[in-house]
């Protein structure tokens, strides 16, 4: 799955979600796992999330959901 496909799939129906911190955390964890898979980077490589975000240039899922909710 590419980064262009990732966010729409993960945020489908988000306008109706009640956004608890636990849900946002799980969405971020899932997004990071997908980004690591796209880059073929494992947790053992110990690359920081900031670096992964810089490499993939994907919008943070929490920001995207908040924007859709508004």
Residue 2 predicted with pLDDT over 60:
no
Residue partners of 60: CB distance under 8 A and separation at least 6: 28, 31, 53
Q: Residue 59's pLDDT band (boundaries 50, 70, 90)? A: confident
- Structure pTM? 0.66
Q: Domain-by-domain residue ranges, the chain?
A: 3-69
The residues, any chain, with a CB within 8 Å of residue 67's CB and separated by 6 or more, are: none
Flag whether pLDDT at 19 surpasses 90: no
In the DSSP assignment, the letter for residue 48 is -
pLDDT tens figures, 21-57: 788 888 888 889 989 998 999 999 999 989 998 998 8
For residue 69, the model assigns a pLDDT of 64
């Amino acid at each position: 799955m590419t980064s262009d496909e990732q966010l729409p799939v993960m945020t489908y129906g988000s306008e109706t979600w009640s956004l608890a911190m636990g849900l946002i955390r799980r969405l971020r964890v899932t997004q990071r796992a997908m980004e690591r898979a796209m880059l073929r980077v494992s947790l053992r490589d110990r690359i920081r999330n900031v670096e992964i975000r810089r490499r993939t240039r994907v919008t943070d899922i929490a920001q995207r959901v908040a924007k859709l909710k508004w």
